[in-house]
């Protein structure tokens, strides 16, 4: 079976505009995301999560290595046909209404007008924006914009949902909605790939996680396997794996081998 995401020996570099020096932000990253799983992509700020996502979405090109989605090289626009993407912040055309935005995106996905109308009705009801569908997005609150983001991410009934910090800045109700949608996707056999700092949430919904630190993969596997018996929860395991000095020491010997990622 084709892996949903396949990343091999991925290296991402940036050139510093002031010093002109090249900085490696993702270093020989290798992992796969399997069909139907909810995959958490974790790491502290600057770990390389966003850079990896940028490569997957075709925003930046890898210095070396490869990345594919459903077996298609991510540099091909068609690789994004089966993706739904929710960015961390809400970035939508403020001069449009929710309905117009979904219509425009639907056309880009090649959906016919009847299908767009049907899905728009369904999604706006799902994210509870029915009443505001004809209002300009610039009049929406942050929470409403984030819910619209969810609607646009689900518009093409994606087989892979990529969420970048989906619950950042959301109130508890919004968070619940996001969780509900992730689990709904999972129940429908879809794949969800998301980055988050909300480790409690990750623990509750993810089948597997990858932990990145300074561009390197520190751990990969099911939450239960990554957690040491002494860790207690994923947050403590996370702190231990990124080498935070205040992290609780596991009872057993935590040699360097413990920090190695499990097989993809």
Partner 1 sequence: MRAILTLAHLVILEMVRRKDIYVLFVLTALLTLIAAAANIFDDTRVVRYLKEISLTLIWVSGFVLAVTSAARQIPAERESRTLFTLLAKPVSRWQFIAGKFLGCWLACGLALLVFYAFFGAVALSRERSLDLAGWAQAISMHWFMLAVPVALALAGSLLWAAPSSNSTLTLVVCFGIWLLGRHLHKVALGLPEPRATLLTLVYFIIPHLELFDIRDLIVHRWPPVPWLFWLGALLYAAAYTGMILTGAWLLFRRRPLN
Site for partner 1 in 7-26 (CB under 8 A): 14
Please, what is the minimum distance in Å from the beta carbon of residue 79 to partner 1? 8
100 makes contact with partner 1 (CB under 8 A): yes
Query: Binding residue for partner 1 (CB under 8 A) from 17, 18, 20, 77?
Result: 77
The backbone torsions φ and ψ at residue 135, rounded to the nearest 5 degrees and listed phi first, read -95, 145
d(CA 248, CA 50): 28
Of 2-10, 28-36, 101-109, 177-185: span binding partner 1 (CB under 8 A): 101-109
6 makes contact with partner 1 (CB under 8 A): no
- Give the number of other CB atoms < 10 A from CB of residue 212: 28
Of 84-92, 178-186, 193-201, 209-217: span binding partner 1 (CB under 8 A): 84-92
Number of residues interacting with partner 1: please give it, by CB under 8 A.
33
114 makes contact with partner 1 (CB under 8 A): no
The backbone torsions φ and ψ at residue 241, rounded to the nearest 5 degrees and listed phi first, read -70, -30
Please, what is the minimum distance in Å from the beta carbon of residue 170 to partner 1? 17
128: left (phi over 0), alpha (psi -120 to 50) or beta: left
- Reading the block at residue 67, the tokens are 């990345």
The backbone torsions φ and ψ at residue 171, rounded to the nearest 5 degrees and listed phi first, read -80, 170
* Residue with Cβ nearer partner 1 (60 or 196): 60
First to last CA, the chain: 15
Of 37-45, 76-84, 121-129, 226-234: span binding partner 1 (CB under 8 A): 76-84
Instruction: Please choose, from the candidates 53, 61, 136, the residue with its C-alpha nearest in 3D space to the C-alpha of residue 87.
Output: 53
65 makes contact with partner 1 (CB under 8 A): no
Site for partner 1 in 122-181 (CB under 8 A): 149, 152, 162
Of 38-46, 86-94, 172-180, 217-225: span binding partner 1 (CB under 8 A): 86-94
- Angle of CA points 70, 73, 76, to nearest 5°: 110
Pairing of strands 160-164, 83-86: parallel
Q: Are 211 and 217 in contact (CB under 8 A)?
A: yes
Residue 18: CA count within 13 A, CB half-sphere: 0
Please, what is the minimum distance in Å from the beta carbon of residue 189 to partner 1? 22
Residue ranges that bind partner 1, judged by CB under 8 A: 14, 50-51, 54, 57-61, 77-78, 80-81, 83, 85, 87, 89, 91-96, 100, 104-105, 107-110, 149, 152, 162
């Amino acid at each position: 079976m084709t892996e949903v995401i396949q990343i091999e020996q991925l290296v991402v570099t940036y050139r510093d505009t002031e010093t002109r020096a090249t900085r490696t932000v993702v270093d020989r990253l290798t992992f796969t995301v399997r069909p139907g799983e909810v995959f958490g992509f974790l790491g502290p700020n600057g770990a390389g999560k966003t850079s990896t996502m940028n490569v997957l979405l075709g925003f930046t090109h890898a210095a070396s290595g490869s990345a594919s989605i459903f077996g298609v090289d991510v540099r091909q626009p068609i690789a994004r046909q089966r993706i739904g993407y929710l960015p961390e912040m809400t970035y939508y055309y403020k001069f449009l209404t929710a309905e117009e935005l979904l219509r425009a995106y639907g056309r880009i996905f090649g959906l016919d007008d009847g299908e767009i109308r049907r899905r728009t009705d369904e999604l706006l009801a799902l994210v509870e924006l029915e009443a505001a569908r004809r209002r300009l997005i610039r009049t929406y609150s942050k929470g409403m914009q984030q819910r619209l983001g969810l609607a646009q991410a689900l518009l093409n009934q994606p087989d892979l949902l990529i969420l970048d910090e989906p619950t950042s800045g959301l109130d508890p109700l919004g968070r619940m909605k996001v969780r509900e949608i992730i689990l709904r996707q999972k129940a429908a056999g879809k794949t969800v790939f998301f980055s988050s700092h909300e480790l409690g949430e990750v623990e509750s919904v993810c089948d597997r996680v990858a932990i990145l630190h300074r561009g390197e993969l520190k751990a990969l596997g099911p939450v239960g396997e990554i957690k040491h018996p002494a860790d207690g929860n994923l947050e403590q395991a996370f702190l231990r794996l990124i080498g935070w000095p205040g992290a609780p020491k596991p009872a057993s010997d935590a040699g360097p081998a413990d920090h190695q990622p499990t097989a993809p």
